[in-house]
A and B are shown apart, each in its own frame.
Chain A
Amino acid sequence: MKKKKDYIWILSILSIVIFAGIWWFCCDVLKLTNSSTLPGPATVVNTFIKKLSSSAPDGATLPAHIFSSLKISLGGWALGVIIGTPLGIFMAWYKKVDLFVRPIFDLLRPIPGLAWIPLMIILFGIGITPKIATVFLSAFVPCVLNSYTGIRQTKDVHLWVGQTFGADDTQMLVHIAIPTALPMIMTGVRVALGAAWTCIVAAEMLASTKGLGYMIQQARGIYRPDIIICGMIAIGAIGAVFSGILSLIENAIVKGVRRDG
């Protein structure tokens, strides 16, 4: 059984290898495109390595751009989680909070994070603040929604058990509703991180002086598709790593509930 599982892993690696192979074959062997339009994988790897230490042509090294994007997106995400999750929990548990907050939340919810950028730029300029605010808003919404839905899934029979044991309202929230909601809350946190990461890159393309989005936008201006692709690879890889780390945390926290149903 164990052996078979190890073997299965190869399939995933294979898909990446095949993808790179086709890319290489089309660009470097068949030369279907001009190398200045779509460079082959070798050129991109080369640029990637150079860009690790070189700040040409956009003023900063790749790690510096990454660091800048990470700082803002993680900051905005953390704010979104810290504020959004408890808000969703309280809205679901306390009817009055729900009635009070819901109208505003329902109005704000359909507005995509990016649509906030113009207003944020007018309010805060193009520094770090408008971006943190925008990332916060896009991370905040899934946190509220998921914790709200999670709390609402609390089973009556579990609450009855709590009641017959004499638990008060707060104890039932902490001992029963929040543990019930935890898997959903964790999903919200993960979705929020994805949203935060997507949002920061887009925000940097519109208004920034640093970050992966800025780097890609600059590279487009001076016609450097190799740098654009490097940026895209960095975005994809970091997003995947985020998702992986949060899944690990999720599995460690969420016990006794089979995730696959």
Chain B
Amino acid sequence: MSKEIIICENLNKTFETSRGSVPVIDNVSLTVLKNELLVLFGPGQCGKSTMINCMAGLEPATGGSVLVGGQKVVKPGPDRGVVYQRMALFPWLTVMGNVEYGPKVRGVPKKERRERAQHYIELVGLKGFENSYPNQLSGGMQQRVGIARAYCNEPDVLFMDEPFGHLDAQTRYLMQEDLMKIWEKEKRTIVFVTNNIEEAIYLADRIVVMTNCPTTIKKEYEIRLPRPRNYVDTEFLKLREEISAVVDKAL
């Protein structure tokens, strides 16, 4: 159970731009355990997406290394799925087309991938919307499709980069609750990025607080509250206050 699946060792990332070097990640060492829900929590523009991109292999690290499942990450791969903030669905494909895309690329036969996609579409609560196009769905439903799409490729780890960041508060609560249900039904390793403290405490097994850019780990919290968590529980509020005091203000 407590097997390490992601290991970042002295991870560094500096972007070379026309206006000089921009260091964004400063010596981050981090391990994520199998089936753990780890939240990267930090202010806006601190380098959270860059962390995700380095772990997913979309950006090369400029120092240190990332291991996923024992393999050094050098490029993106189907063992690592990503759910993005928004607009990442293929608008020309239906919900079914989007969700079955990963297995399709890998050559899974049609019947099998359809069944699998159907399973995940139902898991995220979108039964009946298989043939809808993304622009016919609400923002929350689109994010559900994004989650189903990432799940359907059956990766070892799922990265979620502020997936609920642009949703209204009401929908956001609902999505958090449903993500918990999904994760409880189908346990996966999830690295979830957010700059919302409530969301972090509601979801996390462990919260890693990141500093402002160039980002590094400021502090870690194991969250042992029983699930489903209650946003106004005294323990919850206490943690919220404690972590809020630690995190940097956004620049």
Interface residues of chain A, those whose CB is within 8 Å of chain B, are 155, 157-158, 160-167, 171, 175-176, 179-180, 182, 254-258
> Does A257 lie within 8 Å of B87, measured CB to CB?
no
List B contacts of A164 (CB < 8 A).
Answer: 56-58, 76-78, 80-82
List 13 additional contacts besides A162-B105, A164-B56, A164-B81; criterion CB under 8 Å.
A161-B90, A164-B58, A164-B78, A165-B78, A165-B105, A166-B102, A171-B105, A179-B92, A255-B133, A256-B92, A256-B93, A256-B94, A257-B91
Q: Measured between alpha carbons, how far is A255 from B132 in the docked complex, in Å?
A: 11
Specify the chain B residue showing the minimal Cβ separation from A155: B87
A161: contacting residue among B75, B77, B82, B106, CB under 8 A: B82
Tell me, in angstroms, the Cα distance from A255 to B133 when the chains sit together: 8
Q: List 11 A-B contacts (CB under 8 A).
A: A161-B101, A163-B57, A163-B58, A164-B81, A165-B153, A167-B105, A171-B105, A254-B92, A255-B133, A256-B134, A256-B135
Expressed in whole angstroms, the minimum distance between the Cβ of A109 and any Cβ of chain B is 29
Q: A161-B82, A256-B135, A258-B135 are in contact. Are A166 and B105 (CB under 8 A)?
A: yes
Q: Which residue of chain A has the shortest Cβ distance to B106 in the bound complex?
A: A166
- Measured CA separation A160–B56 after assembly (Å): 10
How many inter-chain contacts with C-beta < 8 Å in the A-B complex?
Answer: 68
Closest beta carbon of chain B to A171's beta carbon, Å:
6
Contact B90 A166 (CB under 8 A): no
Inter-chain contacts of A256 with B (CB < 8 A):
91-94, 133-135
**B88: interface (CB < 8 Å):** yes
B120 within 8 Å of A (CB atoms)? no
Interchain CA distance A170-B147 in the complex, whole Å: 26
Q: Is the interface of A mostly helix, strand, loop or mixed?
A: helix
**Nearest chain-B residue to A165 (Cβ)?**
B102
Say whether B202 faces chain A, with CB atoms less than 8 Å apart: no
Residues of B within 8 A of A (CB): 56-58, 75-78, 80-82, 84, 87-88, 90-94, 101-102, 105-106, 133-135, 149, 153
Closest 4 CB pairs of A and B: A256-B133, A163-B76, A179-B92, A165-B102
- Interface majority SS (helix, strand, loop, mixed), chain B: loop
- List, in ascending order, chain B residues with CB within 8 A of A165's CB: 78, 101-102, 105-106, 153
What's the least CB distance linking B84 to chain A, in Å? Answer: 6
Q: How far is the CA of A180 from the CA of B105 in the complex (A)?
A: 18
Minimum CB–CB distance for A219 against chain B, Å: 48
Shortest Cβ gap from B182 to chain A (Å):
19
In the bound complex, what is the Cα–Cα distance between A258 and B82 (angstroms)? 26
What B residues does A161 contact at CB under 8 A?
A: 82, 84, 88, 90, 101, 149
- In Å, the complex CA distance between A180 and B87 comes to 13
Contact indicator A255/B105 (Cβ below 8 Å): no
Nearest-neighbor residue (CB-CB) of A166 within chain B:
B78
Q: Smallest distance from the beta carbon of A225 to chain B beta carbons, Å?
A: 50
Residues of B within 8 A of A158 (CB): 88, 90
- How far is it, in angstroms, between the C-alpha of A167 and the C-alpha of B105 when the chains are bound? 6
CA distance A255 to B88 in the complex (A): 17
B77-A255 in contact (CB<8A): no
CB distance from B163 to the nearest CB of A (A): 13
CA distance A176 to B98 in the complex (A): 11
- Identify the closest chain A residue to B78 (Cβ): A166
Residue of B nearest to A163 (CB): B76
Residue of B nearest to A161 (CB): B88
Cα–Cα, bound, A254→B93 (Å): 10
- The residue on B at minimum CB distance from A157 is B88
Residue of B nearest to A164 (CB): B76
Q: Is the CB of B90 within 8 A of A179?
A: yes
Cα separation A166 to B108 with both chains bound (whole Å):
13
Question: Complex formed: what's the CA distance from A236 to B87 in Å?
Answer: 41
Complex CA distance for A165 and B106, rounded to whole angstroms: 8
Give, as a whole number of angstroms, the nearest-CB distance from A253 to chain B.
10
Q: How far is the CA of A256 from the CA of B91 in the complex (A)?
A: 5
